[in-house]
Structure 1
């Protein structure tokens, strides 16, 4: 899987213990699913959840959606069994909670060699070590765990997320430097469409690839906000056409709507059209 070129607009958490939710997820228009063995599963259900999830993934039916399995930490009584089980499942990556540094990834990679790993970025230590985590050879993506991070920071929840902004941008910088996806944290009020849209727009404007979601009702807004709009596509096509026309005349820049269009704008436009095509391919798969 080419992690950096596929869409990550909507990444939905699904409890691995809920057979009905696992079935419903097969028909949801999400770009990726996090099958959760950690927070969404009660301690007494952990072992059974592994079996339920393994059976669901073996049965298939999830199409082109990326399938991530979030395990419990190795410092818990369920972590090692989760890792062993996830390594044998038909999934695309293993999502690790509370990653603090490269040493955590070394331990996991030694137990499940060759597995693609994602990291929950949700602790102060992890944020401070974001660059080394992103650069680890097995690391293929970041998920922001904003609820846990806010708890650890003793930060207040604010609509503008100002207390979390440095952490969000630090993780995004590290992910971009390493060429891996970075997916924003969840929005807890799943019935608040306006609040969800505002937080998705903030994450999109920062540069996040998409949004983790806790309810299917949030999917449509995330897909809309993190996908290119018709206006975005039209402008990108105009930028490319104008620049190509200028280049044919031996000129290095073009002008569209009174603004200079240079190589960097054309590269951005082509990337946007490539994302549109990737979304179309995923939705048509």
Structure 2
């Protein structure tokens, strides 16, 4: 299944209960915004947060940023009402917390189908528990089925650290193997995968370092907790000038008359195959899409 590219370099959490943050959301340059009804909203504020979201989406029917609503677990007392409110808002996607098995996705898909929800409403999955990591491959397979609506994994590093009693240190040495496991499963399912948050938003140097590492690991973007992190994330997950130039040279070389039918060619002293051409075309398509936005 072929999916059109959508930049998700910067994915900002905005508490739905925070009126000031909601008012500012429409003006931000984040690729995506997650309007949070779950962890960022106190139990006593859940109902008011839903109403605030309904009003916000009515007042802002369109947005340059992709808009996602994170609901509470359907097993919680707030989850079912959250899902109904999210469906009514018609966001680009609904983010499901603590996904641990494929049924957590397909169950919501069935509910959306039963209520004739628009096919444009996609599903994102939080992978943030030991069981979710262990079952990430089975969950990600749903990305290969259009009817499942699944588009993206979001990693909850804080919850993973909490559930495993693992310390979140600089470089995340104790989490890296799990991060790569989740990423590998996501890519096998043709899903985007968004890295976890960097908690110290005042530490811009540390944030920049973690963004650069995440980009090299293969993540499509990073979840953010403060608007000050947006521009740095956008830059970190954008291919650099050298990568763009190399991609352009590969595409140009294969487009010549003598190379159009070849599976591999020599370019700049190295062997370049058609898999490199496909990667180059994908990179340039991303740049074009980001440029249009």
Q: What range describes the TM-score normalised by the shorter chain of this pair?
A: over 0.9
The aligned counterpart of 2:9 is: 9
Separation of aligned partners in 2, 1:90 and 1:15: 18
Match of 1:148 in 2: 159
Question: SS where residue 163 of structure 1 aligns?
Answer: coil
Following the alignment from structure 2 to structure 1, what is the Cα–Cα distance between the partners of residues 258 and 205?
43
- 2:72–2:79 CA contact under 8 A, matched in 1: yes
Counterpart of 2:209 in structure 1 is 198
Unaligned segments of structure 1, at least 5 residues: none
Cα 1:61/1:219, change in 2 over 3 Å: farther
Q: In the comparison of the two structures, how many residue pairs are matched?
A: 281
After the TM superposition, which of the residue ranges 197-206 and 129-138 deviates more from structure 2?
A: 129-138
Distance in 2 separating the partners of 1:250 and 1:268:
18
What is the TM-score normalised by the length of structure 2?
Answer: 0.90
Whether 1:233 and 2:233 are equivalent positions in the alignment is no
Deviations 1:198-236 (A, max 9, x none): 111111111111011000100111100101222221121
**2:96 corresponds to 1:84:** no
Confirm or deny that 1:218 pairs with 2:229: yes
Contact 1:141 1:182 in 2 (8 A): yes
The 10-residue stretch of structure 1 (233-242 or 182-191) with the greater mean CA deviation from structure 2:
233-242
In structure 2, what is the Cα distance between the partners aligned to 1:151 and 1:8? 26
The whole-number CA distance in structure 1 between the counterparts of 2:103 and 2:60 is 33
Gaps of 5+ in 2: 143-147
Q: How does 1:129-208 map to 2 (within 5 A)?
A: 129-136=135-142, 137-208=148-219
**Once the 2 structures are TM-superposed, how far is the Cα of residue 251 of structure 1 from its aligned partner?**
5.5
Q: Structure 1 residues 193 and 259 mapped into 2: Cα distance closer, same or farther (>3 Å)?
A: farther
Helix, strand or coil: the match of 2:200? coil
TM-score with structure 1 setting the length? 0.92
Provide closer, same or farther for how the CA distance between residues 52 and 248 of structure 1 changes in structure 2, counting only shifts above 3 A: same
CA 1:61 to 1:223, structure 2 compared with 1: closer, same or farther past 3 Å?
farther
Relative distance call for 1:118 and 1:3 in structure 2 (3 A) is farther
| Counterparts in 2 of 1:260 and 1:52: CA distance versus 1, 3 Å | same
CA contact (8 A) 1:26 1:61 kept: no
- Partner residue, 2:105: 105
Q: Is the 8 A contact 1:12 1:215 kept in 2?
A: yes
Secondary structure at the aligned position of 1:91 is classed as coil
SS in 2 for 1:188: coil
Equivalent pair of 2:247/2:280 in contact (CA under 8 Å): yes
Query: Hey, what's the Cα distance between the residues in 2 that align with 1:174 and 1:89?
Result: 30
Contact 2:259 2:265 in 1 (8 A): no
Cα distance in 2 for partners of 1:252, 1:138 equals 35
Alpha-carbon separation, structure 2, partners of 1:55 and 1:162: 43
